[in-house]
Amino acid sequence: MKSYAFCLGLFAVGMAAFAESAAALDWPQWQGPDRNAMSKETGLLQEWPKNGPPLAWKIKGLGGGYSAPSIADGKIFGMSTRGEEQVAWALAESDGKTLWVTPIAPPVTQRMQQGIEGPGCTPTVDGDRVYVEDMGGNLDCLNVADGKIIWHKNLVRDFGGRPPGWSYRESPLVDGEKLICSPGAPDAGIVALDKLTGKTIWKSAIPGDRGAGYCSPIAFDFDEQREYVNFTANMLVGVSASDGKFLWHYDKPANRNSINITTPIYHDGYVFASSAYGAGGGVVKLSKESDGSVKADEVWFSRNIQNHHGGVILLDGYLYGANGGNEGGFLVCLDFKTGKVQWDQRDSDPHTPKGSIAFAGGRLYYRTEKGAMLLLEPSPKQYIERGRFQEPDRSRSPDWSHPVIANGKLYLRDQDVLMCYDVKAK
């Protein structure tokens, strides 16, 4: 009996380790497990065949939108506009088969044409619940198993939110028992809700804030204090996670058009932020004062990293991301500590035009807006390409949905279509 119990114990430990390992390879929210567009996955192809990795499956009929998928516990989640509804959906990770579709709200009437096809939120999966935010600020908590709505809020109606010109685009953050989102209201620039009930925990009034941006919040611990940081319409701002108290702001990376999209990066007491439209990117160093307040002192600022919305990766002390806005742009590499340009693909052949970026298995996955998918070996010394392919049957819309890597698969969404490529090393 003792040996039987011992074996059962080993089995339980093994199953727990397997479950933890599987979860670590999922991509359960915007920009992956840690909201930095980096996967911990290993054992992936280090170089692609001439025509790219093999296509595992491809599905059509998702509907319009730029929502990149999230992957958790064998399911794929996303958002779309289908006819007269904005919807959330779940697919089987194995083959893309539809599991459920939940109507959220009618489409938003948006004066601006860019992004009008549908939502941009990547659903946030937390245990048996998934959280979505549509273009009109409808925030819903759904049951992962069947898509039924558990609770509902609206950022405009319930908090007086000021939606940006291209509608709400953020992906809500789950941190412990809180759900964090950004209505952009005068007395509720950022709010914390009870993730189980939707009840308001606190509302943060941000001095000088002119409304919501398009960015998604991040969380980190600095000097024994947890903070939430997000990009509003006109500033990068940090607030206390415990009560929403305003802590600090940094204005220079915000552009005059209030089109601030790129998710900020935190590393070891430093915060990086960037936007396009003539602005740029910069790093601030945080420090806590004797009275408990927090200062954000600029370390450097550069117009050589005007990231539009493709994201930036921080890897081994170097930043990788696109530099350029509506006029176009190219992939660049900068020193995180100094802002010095290491290389710029504007000056190289082949050129690498602007796009979105992720990291997994020792490689950068870079998707250009015009449909080319690239595999790059990260190096601050030079641009090193290890594979590329052209996405088949492109839509007329730009490829703004970020690449997602989970459990040996690469996912690329192009509006109505989702493609799944096998990038596991054999």
Phi, psi (5° rounding) for residue 315? -140, 120
Q: What is the rounded average pLDDT of the residues 35-64?
A: 97
**Alpha-carbon distance 193 to 351, whole Å?**
45
Phi, psi (5° rounding) for residue 65? 145, 165
**Alpha-carbon distance 55 to 117, whole Å?**
26
**Alpha-carbon distance 217 to 356, whole Å?**
18
Sign of the CA dihedral running 396, 133, 63, 424: positive
**Alpha-carbon distance 248 to 294, whole Å?**
6
Structural domains of the chain in order of their starting residue, each with its CATH number: 32-60+304-426 (2.40.128.630)
**Alpha-carbon distance 11 to 388, whole Å?**
42
Residue 229 pLDDT exceeds 70: yes
Strand-strand pairing, 355-360 and 280-288:
unpaired
In contact, 239 and 213? CB cutoff 8 Å: no
Residue 184, both tokens: 């952009």
Residue 343, both tokens: 């290389």
Residue 294 pLDDT exceeds 80: yes
In contact, 150 and 165? CB cutoff 8 Å: no
What's the pLDDT tens digit per position in 104-157?
999 988 788 888 899 999 999 999 999 999 999 999 999 999 999 999 999 999
pLDDT at 106: 94
What's the pLDDT tens digit per position in 302-354?
999 999 999 999 999 999 999 999 989 999 999 999 999 999 999 887 789 99
Percent of the chain whose pLDDT exceeds 90:
89
- Residue 48 CB partners (closer than 8 Å, separation 6+): 375, 386, 387, 388, 389, 423
3-state secondary structure of 286: strand
For the chain, the 3-state helix, strand and coil shares in percent, each to the nearest 5, are 5, 45, 50
3-state secondary structure of 170: coil
pLDDT at 11: 46
**Helix residue ranges per DSSP H, 272-350:** none
What's the pLDDT tens digit per position in 55-83?
999 999 999 999 999 999 999 999 999 99
pLDDT at 24: 66
Q: What is the mean pLDDT of the chain?
A: 93
In contact, 232 and 211? CB cutoff 8 Å: yes
What's the pLDDT tens digit per position in 168-212?
999 999 999 999 999 999 999 999 999 999 999 999 999 999 999
